[in-house]
Chain A
Amino acid sequence: MDGRTDDAATIGVWRGVRIDVAPRDAVSVEVMVASAGVFAHEIGRTRPGGGLGNLDTALGGAITRLRADGIFRAETGDVLTLSAPARPIHATTVLAIGLGDPAVWTPETIRQAVSTAARETIRIEATSAAFAPSLLDSGLDPDGLAGTPDAMLAGLFDALSDAPARMLSRWVFCVGAGRFETVVEVFRASFDRLAAP
């Protein structure tokens, strides 16, 4: 569980943490802590699709059930930790990170979510972790997601700056398999820009 999957592409190392992008989801990524963004509701669908849908299914519908019951509202900043999940989930801990109302989503929302996930990962002293934004899975328009890689990296850097990760050595951003090489290049460009001194 070092967070490095065969299909992962490394985009850089920052403060001792190797940052990868992988065409995986929170179910299949091989890390200790798999985190996923969850909106308060989906747009144009009754349940999440894609990777977040896979995660919810692998958990027996727990995320959407707890959300419907108000136990996990998925408001911005909400964190639901599910420990010791069963296979097919590879991680030993799943974090559902609230993204709030999808109608008012901005890149800043995802920056805060990644930062929250990273802080929680550092708190529990995991050595590897992943974050799946789940934006398309929740029905957001792909044309409205500009700035997302910058925001996700900035969120990770925020957390690593505030709380040095003594144990964390790998961080994986889970993305869709479509146009993977292009997405990797976008992340690399963001990394080069944001990591520059």
Chain B
Amino acid sequence: MIVDDHPFLREGVKAVIETQEDLAVVAEAESGEQALALYPTHLPDIVLMDLQMPGIGGVDTIAAMRSNWPHARIVVLTTYSGDAQALRALRAGAAGYLLKNTLRKELLDTIRSVHAGGKHLNAQVASSIAFHVIEDALTEREIGVLSLAASGNSNKQIAAKLAVSEETVKGHMKLIFAKLGASDRTHAVTIAAKRGIIEL
């Protein structure tokens, strides 16, 4: 089953898969909600899952799918190489993580490896996950503050939305800069988006 909100992407992946005698696409979904509805009907051996989709999004879909069907084998196929995004997907239960610029053969190898029970990651994504572990992870609150900053909110506006003082927000921002190695809020937003910590 292919889960992606872009029909061209689904068509491209389907065309690659259907060149193989031992593989077939049994269902397509354009959202996480649709994927969860279709899964029990088709019980696919492998789910290829995008992360950035309207609605509940890829990571939550993976978590829900694995919760309902623990044997579901899910391979993330995404444009996002960020370590935080990848780690969330793997912790949610994804067995593979590939980038959309992956070569055709690697995609097919991954499908077969994961079907056989293995896990498959792009090595650079895996290294990125390991590299950032030495840093302090942002707390949920800090991620919330930074997401609001990324949406253009001032410290005062963030404080009002979170029902805290402006000084508290400034304190969060200071810690966020230190943890991300950022020089200012724009830099912090850029780093966090690139690593998949926040979504823009």
- What residues of chain A have their CB less than 8 Å away from a CB belonging to chain B? 59-62, 64-66, 69, 71-72, 77-86, 89, 94, 120, 123-124
Which of A62, A69, A71, A78 touches B127 (beta carbons < 8 Å)? A62
CB distance from A154 to the nearest CB of B (A): 21
Question: Given contacts A80-B118, A80-B119, A81-B120, is CB(A124)–CB(B109) below 8 Å?
Answer: yes
Residue B100 at the chain A interface, CB threshold 8 Å: no
Chain A residues with CB under 8 Å of B130's CB are 59-62, 64-66
Majority DSSP secondary structure for residues of B touching A? helix
Contact in complex: B127, A60 (CB < 8 Å): yes
Residue B131 at the chain A interface, CB threshold 8 Å: yes
Q: Count of A-B contacts with CB under 8 A?
A: 88
Contact in complex: A83, B120 (CB < 8 Å): yes
* Separation of A5 and B21 alpha carbons in the complex (Å): 36
Question: Given contacts A71-B91, A83-B106, A84-B123, is CB(A123)–CB(B129) below 8 Å?
Answer: no
Which of B112, B121, B131, B133 touches A82 (beta carbons < 8 Å)? B121
Contacts beyond the supplied A78-B119, A84-B124, A123-B113: 19 A-B pairs with Cβ under 8 Å: A60-B131, A61-B133, A65-B130, A66-B90, A71-B90, A77-B117, A78-B118, A79-B113, A79-B117, A81-B109, A83-B110, A84-B106, A84-B123, A86-B124, A89-B123, A120-B118, A123-B112, A124-B109, A124-B112
Chain B residues with CB under 8 Å of A77's CB are 117
* Separation of A26 and B176 alpha carbons in the complex (Å): 38
* Separation of A59 and B128 alpha carbons in the complex (Å): 9
Scoring B117, B118, B128, B131 by chain A CB atoms within 10 A of each residue's CB, the highest score goes to B118
Q: Which B residues, 124 to 158, have Cβ-Cβ distances below 8 Å to chain A?
A: 124, 126-131, 133
CB distance from A90 to the nearest CB of B (A): 13
Chain A residues with CB under 8 Å of B110's CB are 81, 83
Residue B87 at the chain A interface, CB threshold 8 Å: yes
19 A-B pairs (CB sep. < 8 Å): A59-B130, A60-B130, A61-B127, A62-B121, A62-B123, A65-B126, A65-B130, A66-B121, A71-B91, A79-B119, A80-B119, A81-B118, A82-B122, A83-B98, A83-B110, A83-B121, A86-B127, A120-B116, A123-B109
- What residues of chain B have their CB less than 8 Å away from a CB belonging to chain A? 87, 90-91, 98, 106, 109-110, 112-113, 116-124, 126-131, 133
Question: Given contacts A59-B126, A60-B131, A66-B130, is CB(A81)–CB(B121) below 8 Å?
Answer: yes
In chain A, what residue has the closest Cβ to B108? A124
* Separation of A137 and B183 alpha carbons in the complex (Å): 41
In chain B, what residue has the closest Cβ to A77? B117
* Separation of A83 and B112 alpha carbons in the complex (Å): 14
Chain A residues with CB under 8 Å of B117's CB are 77, 79
In chain A, what residue has the closest Cβ to B95? A71
Contact in complex: B128, A60 (CB < 8 Å): yes
Contact in complex: B118, A79 (CB < 8 Å): yes
Q: Sorted from nearest, which 10 A-B pairs have the closest CB atoms?
A: A60-B127, A79-B118, A65-B130, A62-B126, A85-B123, A61-B130, A82-B123, A81-B120, A62-B130, A124-B109
Contact in complex: B119, A123 (CB < 8 Å): no
CB distance from B36 to the nearest CB of A (A): 23
* Separation of A85 and B120 alpha carbons in the complex (Å): 12
* Separation of A105 and B87 alpha carbons in the complex (Å): 30
In chain A, what residue has the closest Cβ to B98? A83
